[in-house]
A and B are shown apart, each in its own frame.
Chain A
Amino acid sequence: MPSPFPSTSSIAGKGNIYLTLLPPSTPTFSHLTYTYPLKLLPSTPHKLSPRVTKKPPSPDDALPRPPPPPETVPLLFLLTYGGGLVAGDHIDVSVRLDTGTRLTVTTQGSTKIFKPSASAPPTTRQELSVHVSNHAALWIAPDPVQPFAGSLYAQKQVFNVERGGSVGFVDWVSEGRKARGERWAFAGWRGRNEIWEVYGEKMERRRLVVRDAVVLDGTDISGRMDGMGVFGTVLLRGPLFEALADFFVEEFKALPRIGGRSWTNAGDTAQELTAGEEWRRKRVQREREDGVLWTACNVRGCTTVKFAAKEVEGAKTWLGNMLKEEGGVGREFGDGGLMFVR
């Protein structure tokens, strides 16, 4: 059967982002260009307080010390005119982060994917190609993509990461316009995320670390989603996301067993819970109420978190709760990196 995603030939909404470090440690956009229907809007950067690293100095002095963090972390809004993309739109963004820089990318509200009209090519495309240098870090935290009934959408994000570079992103899709009774009523949704490790003297070699791909097309997409209203993935790689990655994996392991029985009585509160345990108890209870299901695991040097919830709000609450409790994103990338779960 031929692919339901025919090629498009319309004008691309091209974007180019190149972040460099001016001495001593001031990040500057040496390139920041975009064409319709894409808009890249820098906002107030997050100031990083100069601080001593938490880890004690390594006894192994042979290891080169990482450079100090940059003074600020720019915040960039990735916007589209009208808050959505029509059929045939092709967004193509390229990002390059020089050594020692950090960048937060977010959106303002969900990216709506409109239904094709008769004239335009039917598929809406978004492509992102990223290069993260050593000691650089990128956090991409958009609102979910919201494909309307009948829409056809394909997304591809390729992250080329040098050893010592960090990348973390959230990629999620909702069922559509629930208020209008749309439940996974789009014609097709295809998403692919790849993390490549680049190495070699001139960074000319690369190795596929992970490829996370989802395709939702054909009939009865709704039946496949088992009553969920939103589904997403968080991928984390690199030293700056290590603590967050471990946090997700540890919290996953600490989830209550499914089908297990609680042997503690409701009135039995003799056991004092620590603040962390109390937070977890409340979070797990909220997960139940919101129908949140999630997994986290570390495979091939990347941490993959998959989640689904009955509604976008439930997923937002859960994700925000996790990210805020761990605190790394807010500290290292600023509150802009958490706007998407507000």
Chain B
Amino acid sequence: MSSIADKRVLTEEIAHLEAQLTAARARLNHSPTPSASNSNPALPPNGLPSHPLLLLSDSALPLGSFAFSSGLESYLAHNPYPKTASEAFPHFLTLALTTLATTTLPYLLAAHRSPEQLQELDATLDACTLCPVARRASVAQGKALLTLWERALRTGAGESPAALALGEFSVVLKSIPLHRDDGCEVSGHFAPIWAAVTRAMGITLRESAYTFLFNHAKAVVSAAVRASVMGPYAAQGMLAGTWLRGEIEDVMARNWGMDVEDAAQGVPMCDLWVGRHELLYSRIFNS
């Protein structure tokens, strides 16, 4: 156990040092000193936000995330009376973020720190995801991201252990027959693949985790707009507000040190709402 912890500490340290090195190189290249001939007057001294990060936080990313409401539709159907939908929504969003952070975030963190463990992490996450509706949502987005990586993102990212791990993962995933419930060790869950892709594209651990959770919040908020819970301006207001930011930072802080073995469902009711989505008479979402 201690060797794993040591390894993780070392891996983190290496990642940190690498990031420092990259930052130092970038500062050197974009040095605003007048002597530097290649200085770009359009860029601020600290550089612009990471280009890959902007790319991966785009809601137009073809992952199909819009098809999933993460239980919102079912939640609203189960709680039609006590509160109006717009009052109940922030509560639900907190629960959705808590669920994601307690069940999935540890896998994201582990896969970003040690991308070479991608296959094991995916297999363990599969054993821990017992709700078929949630499995569908996770695997659909994970596979979509893997395809996106192979077809579009890989060439620009260059060589790295994470890129290598993604390549191997893809080979294993394609070599097994589809729709097998048993014996299939690699499934393609979203969080570990997200972690490996962001790592391969040079996005830091914290940015990767924050963006993952924020993207999830965006998908749920967008589902709320389409489910007529709130209007588009209220939705953007919620995304822009300090409340959501605080919620994401809070769930990140609370689950930052959690081991993969300790990942657990923090909102058991979410399993019921998501699982009972299949019982809804009419549905506009896949989850």
Give A residues with C-beta under 8 Å from B: 1-3, 190-192, 208-216, 218, 223-226, 228, 231, 255-261, 293-295, 297-302, 304, 306-308
Contact = CB atoms under 8 A, between A and B. Distances in A.
Given A1-B257, A2-B257, A224 B269 contact: yes
B210 interface: no
B126 interface: yes
Given A211-B124, A226-B79, A299-B131, 9 more contacts: A212-B128, A226-B269, A228-B269, A257-B280, A295-B276, A299-B135, A300-B182, A304-B130, A306-B268
A256 B263 CA distance: 33
A208 B124 contact: yes
B264 A295 contact: no
B9 to A, nearest CB: 16
B265 A214 contact: yes
Contact of B95 (A192, A224, A259): A224
Contacts of A213: 128, 262-265
A89 B251 CA distance: 30
A176 B264 CA distance: 21
A226 B88 CA distance: 11
B131 A257 contact: no
B127 A257 contact: no
**Of residues B124, B256, B268, which shows the largest number of chain A Cβ atoms within 10 Å of its Cβ?**
B268
Given A2-B257, A257-B281, A295-B275, A214 B130 contact: no
B214 to A, nearest CB: 21
24 contacts: A1-B254, A208-B124, A209-B127, A210-B128, A212-B130, A213-B128, A213-B263, A214-B266, A215-B266, A223-B91, A224-B95, A224-B267, A225-B269, A226-B269, A231-B268, A256-B279, A258-B74, A258-B279, A260-B281, A261-B281, A297-B130, A299-B129, A306-B271, A307-B272
Contacts of A260: 281
Nearest to B269: A226
B130 A299 contact: yes
B282 interface: yes
B58 interface: no
Contacts of A307: 272
B268 A300 contact: no
Given A259-B77, A295-B271, A308-B272, A208 B264 contact: no
A190 B281 contact: no
B269 to A, nearest CB: 5
Contacts of B102: 215
Nearest to B99: A224
A191 B262 CA distance: 10
A258 B75 CA distance: 11
Interface in B86-127: 91, 95, 98, 102, 123-124, 126-127
B275 A259 contact: no
A295 B272 contact: yes
A300 B127 contact: yes
Contacts of B52: none
Contacts, number: 108
B181 interface: yes
A226 B79 CA distance: 9
A301 B79 CA distance: 32
A231 B270 CA distance: 12
A224 B269 CA distance: 7
**Of residues A1, A2, A212, A258, which shows the largest number of chain B Cβ atoms within 10 Å of its Cβ?**
A258
A297 B132 contact: yes
Contacts of B7: none
**Of residues B253, B269, B282, which shows the largest number of chain A Cβ atoms within 10 Å of its Cβ?**
B269
Given A299-B130, A299-B135, A192 B264 contact: yes
A228 B273 CA distance: 13
Contact of A1 (B79, B127, B135, B256): B256
A110 B131 CA distance: 28
B79 A211 contact: no
A302 B132 CA distance: 12
A193 B177 CA distance: 29
Interface string B121-151: 0011011111110010000000000000000
B78 A293 contact: yes
A213 B124 CA distance: 13
The 4 closest A-B pairs by CB, nearest first: A295-B275, A213-B264, A260-B281, A257-B281
